[in-house]
Amino acid sequence: MTAQRKLKIKKGDTVVVLTGRDKGKKGEVTKILPEKNRVIVQGINMFKKHRKPTQQQAGGIEDIEASLDVSNVALIDPKTDKATRVGYTTLKGGRKVRVARKSGEVIDE
């Protein structure tokens, strides 16, 4: 089991996929799985799930998003619209914020 670490990507961030079948595609992070170091991105890494019918739901084939390793996605720089790494800085008021390493732009205000 890998050690759980603090992820620099958060729910609601727009990310770009760096490797794999969906390389270059952009999407919004819908779920974070920090215990597994994985993220689920809307519309990325889709697979088909065959479901049996139940009393509440009809059966059929559903498209579901599979998780991606957090190392295979990068945050999109709000200034340049390209992939960037995430850093942290402290503002004058003493608040710690995330910044894009490439442009220095504050990510979450």
The 3-state secondary structure of 40-106 reads EECCCCEEEEEECCCCCCCCEEEEEECCEEHHHEEEECCCCCCEECEEEEECCCCCEEEEECCCCCE
pLDDT at 5 over 80: no
pLDDT at residue 6, rounded to an integer: 83
pLDDT of residue 2 exceeding 90, the answer is no
pLDDT tens digits for 35-80? 999 999 999 999 999 999 999 999 999 999 999 999 999 999 988 8
18 has a pLDDT exceeding 90: yes
Yes or no: say if 82 and 76 are a contact pair by the CB < 8 Å rule.
Answer: yes
Q: For position 78, what pLDDT does the model report?
A: 86
Identity (one letter) of the amino acid at 74?
Answer: A
> Domains, the chain, ranges and CATH?
14-76 (2.30.30.30), 84-109 (no CATH)
pLDDT at 3: 66
